[in-house]
Amino acid sequence: MSDGLRERQFAALVTPGRTGALLVVDVQRSFADPDYLPWVEPDYLPVIAQTVVSVAALVDEARALGTPVIWIQLGQSADRPWTSSLWLRDISAGEPWPTADEPCVLGTPGAEWFGMAPAEGELVITKRGYSGFFGTTLENELHERGIDWVTVVGLTIDCCVDATARDAFQGGWPVLVPSDATAAYDAELQANSLANVALNCGVVVTSADVVGLWRLAS
């Protein structure tokens, strides 16, 4: 991407009267706490930990600058099992719901925010699948708040961050994805996922880029 193109894209976001928001996706214990990630290579766990730190820092910057922070969490429950996900993982619909193995089951520690938490008055959206938009009120909430563009961060870039960023883009919101504030569970998948975002639905940036834009808009 040419520097000129990026400058024009950035300039369009901070036009007077345009408002950005930070969408924090699934930074929950099931996805971020090392105790819940036994399949991740130990050498890669520091990447996840640093991603959590970077997301928390962006949350702090957004609050300080008056940028809305919107929290998007996975919330599963036995009364509404995700049947297609069970099918994909070869779990029979007739079997007992595998609560112990499911991530982010409401009312369990796995669903808790990790390394950060919503402040009083900040919007929390609970989703049942990958995208923060699917089956939720997020689209209406963004319109009602006058949000013109979004920054999407969290876990993971190959799944729920990508799905949320893609649906935001399809809904008409320009999307920024800071490469240092999202991660997959291995380096190759992370790099490929960011490349896919850049190709199809957003501009891959750094946290410093985003904070600079918020400051210009504040």
Residue 207 tokens, joined:
């946290």
**Closest by Cα among 156, 165, 160 to 204:** 165
Q: Which residue has the tokens 């099992």?
A: 81
Summarize pLDDT for 155-201 with one digit per residue, the tens.
Answer: 999 999 999 999 999 999 999 999 999 999 999 999 999 999 999 99
For the CA atoms of the chain, what is the radius of gyration?
Answer: 17
Residues in the chain: 218
Number of domains in the chain: 1
First vs last C-alpha separation in the chain: 27
Structural domain of 203: 3-217
pLDDT of 72 > 70? The answer is yes
DSSP helix, strand, coil percent of the chain (3-state; round to 5): 45, 15, 35
Residue 201 tokens, joined:
């639905």
Summarize pLDDT for 87-118 with one digit per residue, the tens.
Answer: 887 777 667 666 667 898 999 999 999 999 99
Summarize pLDDT for 26-37 with one digit per residue, the tens.
Answer: 999 999 999 999
Cβ neighbourhood burial of 151 (10 Å; 0-12, 13-18, 19+): buried
Worst-scoring range by mean pLDDT, 75-79, 141-145, 178-182? 75-79
User: Tell me, what CATH number does 200's domain have?
Assistant: 3.40.50.850
Q: What percent of the chain has pLDDT over 90?
A: 82
